[in-house]
A and B are shown apart, each in its own frame.
Chain A
Amino acid sequence: MNIFNLLTEIEKADPEVYGRLDSRRAVFKHFGGFGKKLAVAAVPLAFGSMLNKAYGQTATRSVMEVLQFALLLENLEAEFYKQAAATSLFPAAPAKMAFETIRDHEVAHVAFLRSAITGASGTPTNYTANSFDFSAKGNLPNTFTDYGTMLAVAQAFEDTGVRAYKGQAQFLISNNAVLEAALQIHSIEARHAAHIRRMRRDLASSPANQKPWITLKDRGGLPALVQPIYDGEEITTQAGVNIATGSVSANAASEAFDEPLDTAQVTAIVTPFLR
């Protein structure tokens, strides 16, 4: 494979390809991580990542935009858990305590993001309970009156949060401090997701074998409107490597890797919850 022939071909279709790649120098830098002798097999991987950089959202997504986007998502969650934890739907004290724990984390994430935005000379957007519509335009009228629905919405938000942070991480690669903080929040959202899934498993009406992880694109008995939160999770190939091989089933292969959602996908998912 001749990388520069490929670039020449792409240039025919897109004369600005080098502009998108920042510079020819950046092209070489992209292959720098592998040492002096670049393995031929590594070219497709590195080339793919380079094209992602050129045609993905990299060029148009600043650290500030990521912080503001995360702030919206954390406010959505924080306001949800504030109202949810205040209901009397919980069958037992530990369930209520779990929601309070998660609420406190989401409120802390909001505070952190606001300070990070302010620290970077930005102005954090203000949100209140009135910023959000937890009935999703009337599709979920029982969010705070039916325990099963409340858990379902919680799971939808947590699984979305995990995928959203994962999709944004790439845009923070130039800022170590913000990247690390985002990753530290990302894994907490995954812990929340696992526990909410466990709480749903404990329900009498639980779907069979409800697990802490996402199997294929199974939405776990949730309403069809949340399917976009799970679409794409079913893949069993990572960076060209077939994961569903040997003793690893397709189910396990899909569960072993959570998948990112891009900005547009996340926006489409949360828009029904915005006033």
Chain B
Amino acid sequence: MAKNTNPQETQAGLTKKVTSPIQRRSFLKYAGVGAALSTLFIMGCDNDDDMNNMPGDGVNLGSGDVGILNYAYALEQLEAAFYTQVVAATAFNTTFSNAMERMILTDIRDHEVAHREFFKAAITSAAPNDIIPGLTPDFSAVNFNDRNAVLATAKTFEDLGVAAYNGAGKLLTSATFLTLAGKIVSVEARHAAEIRDIISNGTFASGPEINNMGMDRALMPRDVLAAAQPFIKEKINFSNLPTT
């Protein structure tokens, strides 16, 4: 259905795009064809099971639990693409001269890729018509050869990810999905703490992100996506997500 006609969907994911510029260029040749086809497919679709990827509508996360899973999938795509680019940078070994720090960043890359691929497989299995496509990251504001810039961006993403999962828990109706989100959010929190400690040891759980009750933030999708949108080329449409 529509998902097959979106040019993004034919890519293996953000990782490949970031590391394979030549392949990306060759695939762009087909984008025009894809755009034309998608118009045809959308015209022939049922009215409510292909909400994603409407022209001008951005990438629609959809509704219900699947919408929340798509929301998580979008954030994990962003994180995975970021760390993939961090580790793939030609100057990685000099930007991060400490071997332990390189191991930490490489581990985090692998975890975020694992999260991304998990959501891709789980959503494809549960709701194959509703999965969002692969997104295109925009890290033009990040200098990947600048240690401080990389760490600051990593901190933003990890703290944001923690707040996103904490805020999304109550939006889920399935206890199974809630537990799965819980399995991931604590790993994001471990990442957040370690990145913060690399920046400044002892800052693992301090600052405005932690309230005076010793609690992490919980943010709604609109607030999370307001912060994440500048790093994603496609417009993310969250208007159908549950709000309570």
Q: Which residues of A contact B (CB under 8 A)?
A: 30, 32-37, 39, 41-42, 45-46, 48-49, 52-53, 58, 94, 97-98, 101-102, 104-109, 111-112, 162, 165-166, 169-170, 173, 176, 179-181, 183-195, 198, 201, 209, 211-213, 238-241, 243, 245-249, 252-253, 255-260
Contact = CB atoms under 8 A, between A and B. Distances in A.
B215 A184 contact: yes
Contacts of B194: 194, 198, 212
Contact of B110 (A46, A169, A193, A248): A248
Contacts of A52: 175-176
B206 interface: yes
Interface string B95-108: 00000100110010
A268 B66 CA distance: 36
B187 A247 contact: no
Contact of B215 (A32, A35, A97, A188): A188
A34 B66 contact: yes
Contacts of A112: 213-215
Contact of A45 (B48, B126, B128, B129): B126
A191 B218 contact: no
A37 B145 CA distance: 48
B3 interface: no
Contact of B218 (A33, A180, A253): A180
15 contacts: A33-B65, A34-B65, A34-B126, A42-B126, A169-B179, A173-B175, A186-B182, A187-B162, A187-B186, A187-B189, A191-B189, A212-B194, A256-B184, A258-B182, A258-B190
Interface stretch (B20-28, B114-122, B222-230, B231-239): B114-122
B214 A33 contact: no
A173 B110 contact: no
Interface in B133-183: 162, 165-167, 169-170, 172-176, 178-180, 182-183
Given A35-B64, A52-B175, A194 B117 contact: no
Interface of B: 48-49, 64-66, 100, 103-104, 107, 110-115, 117-118, 121-122, 125-130, 162, 165-167, 169-170, 172-176, 178-180, 182-194, 197, 201-202, 204-206, 210, 212-218, 244
Contact of A190 (B189, B213, B214): B189
Contacts of A187: 162, 165-166, 185-186, 188-189, 216
Contact of A169 (B115, B178, B197): B178
Contact of A180 (B169, B191, B202): B169
Given A34-B127, A192-B204, A241-B121, A183 B180 contact: no
A101 B206 CA distance: 8
Nearest to A111: B213
Nearest to B106: A252
B214 A257 contact: no
A252 B166 CA distance: 23
Nearest to A184: B215
A183 B183 CA distance: 11
Contacts of B114: 243, 248, 252-253, 256-257
B130 to A, nearest CB: 8
A106 B190 contact: no
> Which of the listed residues B114, B179, B192, B197 has the most CB atoms from chain A within 10 Å of its own CB?
B114
